[in-house]
Amino acid sequence: MTIIQCQALSKVYTVSDKASGLKGTLDHFWRRKYRQIPAVQDVSFEIRPGEVVGFLGPNGAGKTTTLKMLTGLIHPTAGHLTVAGQIPYQRRPSFLKQITLVMGQKQQLIWDLPAWDSLRINAAVYELSERECLQRVGELAEMLDLGDKLRQPVRKLSLGERMKAELLAALLHRPQILFLDEPTLGLDVNAQMSVRAFLKTYNEHFQATILLTSHYMADITALCERVLLIHQGELIYDGQLDDLLDKFSPYRQVKLELNQSVPASELQQFGDIEAVQERDVRLIVRREHLTETVSKILAQLDVCDLTITDPPIEEVIGRVFLSLDQTHAASQ
C-alpha cells in the first residue's frame, strides 16, 4: 500500500534566452529565443503511509520542484503522480485537506497580529468548528510548548517560536501527509531539537507520512530511516540511511589520544590526517585497510585511547555529490 506514488516524474522549464547589451535586447524583442531547463528528470519512488523519508540533494537539485509537484502547486511536464489516491495538480478540496506544505523560508502568519487570529482564519478555511479549533490548538500548543505565546503579535516572537507557530498553523487541519522544506532553517540548536522532537511525536501520534528536505543532517538522522538522494534532477539513491553510509563511505574515522605528541609527518603513513591538536589526532582510513592500520598504530605509537567511527553523515553525502559533479565535469 502506498500513499505517494511517482512514476517517471519530470519537470522542464522553458525560459527565454537573451544576450546582453542593446543589440541583445532588440533581438530579444523581435526574435525571442527559448531554451529548456530540466529541473526534474524521470524520478520514480513510492512512500507508504506513516513513513518519514528524508529528501536530500544540493541546492538546485530539484527537491523543492518535486515537493511543489507533489502538492499540486506546479504541473509536471511528464510522468504519473498520485498522492493519497488523488492527482495533486487538480487541487481538489478533499486532497488539500489531507496535506500540508511547510517551507522554512516562507510564512503564513500575519506579522502584526497574534498567531491566534491567523489560526482562527485557518480553522474557518478548513471548516473546523470553534470547539475543534480550541481542542486542536490546545493539543498542538502543548506538544510544541508554546504556552501563551500564541496571544502575542507574531513580530514579537523569537525565530524558533515563530517556526513552531507556523507548524501549528500548518497542522491545524490534522493533515495525514506533511511536506517539509527546510523546516529548521535558521533556527538555533535548541529550537531545531524542539522541532525535531515535535515532528517525531506528531508522526507517532497521528501516523502521519512525512517527506522532509533539510541541509541539517541532524534532522535526517533524528527522524528518517529511509532517504532519497536527488542530483541534477535525477534520483540517484532510494533506500535505508544506514545502507547509504555503507555504500558511499569506504572510509572510517580513527580518533587517537596519544600519551605524547607526534609530528604530522610521522602520522601520514597511517592514513589521511583530518586533524591534529597536540595529542589528539583524527585520521581517515580506508575500510579495507582498517585492521592492518590499527595494528600498525598500536605497535608504533604510544596510544592512550583509540576510537573507530563512521565519518559524519554530512561528510559522506558531500563526498557523494562532489564525486558526481567531478564525473559530470569530466564527461563534458
**C-alpha cell recorded at residue 50:** 506513516
Residue 328: per-residue pLDDT: 65
pLDDT at residue 190 in the model = 86
Where would I find the beta strands (DSSP E) of 18-118?
33-47, 52-56, 78-83, 99-103
pTM given for the model: 0.81
State the pLDDT at residue 12. 95
| Domains 4-12+41-245 and 250-309 alike in fold | no
Write down the architecture of domain 4-12+41-245 according to CATH: 3-Layer(aba) Sandwich (3.40)
pLDDT by position in tens, the chain (length 332): 899 999 999 999 998 888 888 888 888 888 888 889 999 999 999 999 999 999 998 888 899 999 999 999 999 999 999 999 999 999 999 999 999 999 877 888 999 999 999 999 999 999 999 999 999 999 999 989 888 899 999 999 988 889 999 999 999 999 999 999 988 888 888 888 989 999 999 999 999 999 999 888 889 989 999 999 998 899 999 999 888 777 777 778 899 999 988 888 889 899 888 888 888 999 988 888 889 999 999 999 999 999 988 776 777 777 777 777 776 666 66
pLDDT at position 177, please? 97
3-state secondary structure of 182: coil
Long-range contacts of 286-293 (CB under 8 A, 24+ apart): 286/250, 286/251, 286/252, 287/250, 287/251, 287/252, 288/250, 290/252, 290/254, 293/254
- CATH of the structural domain 250-309, one choice from 3.40.47.10, 3.20.20.30, 3.30.540.10, 3.30.70.1560: 3.30.70.1560
- For the chain, the structural domain boundaries read 4-12+41-245, 250-309
